[in-house]
Amino acid sequence: MPKSRSLRRVDDAPPLDREDGAEKYSAQYLKRRSQQAVLHWLERGNRIASDAARPQMPPPEVLFDLKGKTAGQACSRAHGGSQIRINLDLLRRYPRQMIQNTIPHEMAHLVTSHIYLEHPGRIRPHGPEWKSVMAQFGRPADVTHTMHAQATRRVRRWDYTCRCPGKTHSITTYRHRRILRGAAYQCRLCRSRLEHGATPAPQNMNE
């Protein structure tokens, strides 16, 4: 299973809408600058890896698909490779904070996972190992951000049942469509295959 670390907004942050001058940057320009920043911190991270007698890290895939309160997310795949996911809405409204703070924050997660690959269960997401990388990056080791995030959209959910008496599973539309294409999910308790109910479940906020 892939391991991911994310930077979320602290709930008592002041609701500032955007940085001064943010509107003058296009989305394409900010994506390009973000990718350049990822490569910059990758080079710094590979120096740290070399000092730790670790092999060089390949460039991560950079995606701009995060929504809601999460500013960025680092994901290391078990079979190799990695991803940096970025909230494009926050990037367009807070380009300086996202490029100067969020991207090195997420790259530090990848560097930490790479250096301590043999001991993944012993490394806390924002523990001393990660803080050490951030210190070597020369960036503040902030765990949360203060950017004002937009509410995520509402998503439809679907009722599925298993063999557990009276138990209902609320499935997202994404998983519902996967099931229609042949995917299968099972109950963690009874291990039976989930079966589709008659009506969609009430709408919930997507987290």
Question: Is the full-model pTM beyond 0.75?
Answer: no
Instruction: Tell me the DSSP string of 11-32.
Output: TTS------TTGGGS-HHHHHH
Closest CA to 175 of 201, 150, 153, 152: 201
The Cα–Cα gap between 125 and 119 comes to: 13
Give ∠ CA 156-76-129 in degrees, rounded to 5. Answer: 120
Closest CA to 16 of 124, 145, 205, 148: 148
Residue 55 CB coordination number (10 Å): 10
pLDDT one-digit tens code per residue, 112-131: 988 887 765 677 888 999 99
The Cα–Cα gap between 55 and 49 comes to: 7
* 106 belongs to the catalytic site: yes
In the chain, domain spans: 3-145, 154-205
Share of the chain above pLDDT 90, in %: 44
pLDDT grade, residue 32 (50/70/90)? very high
Share of the chain above pLDDT 70, in %: 81
* C-alpha separations of 102 from 70, 97, 150 in Å: 10, 7, 17
pLDDT grade, residue 106 (50/70/90)? very high
pLDDT average, residue stretch 14-28: 81
Task: Give the pLDDT of residue 204.
Answer: 41
pLDDT grade, residue 51 (50/70/90)? very high
Range in 34-43, 55-64, 69-78 the model is least confident about: 69-78
Amino acid at 107: M
The total number of residues shown for the chain amounts to 207
pLDDT grade, residue 136 (50/70/90)? very high
The Cα–Cα gap between 97 and 108 comes to: 16
Task: Give the pLDDT of residue 46.
Answer: 96
The Cα–Cα gap between 157 and 170 comes to: 6
Closest CA to 49 of 61, 57, 40: 57
Per annotation, catalytic residue among 19, 23, 61, 106: 106
pLDDT greater at residue 45 or residue 144: 45
Instruction: Tell me the DSSP string of 30-68.
Output: HHHHHHHHHHHHHHHHHHHHHHTT-PPPPPPEEE----T
The Cα–Cα gap between 105 and 84 comes to: 10
Mean pLDDT for the chain overall: 83
pLDDT one-digit tens code per residue, 162-187: 988 888 888 888 888 889 999 889 88
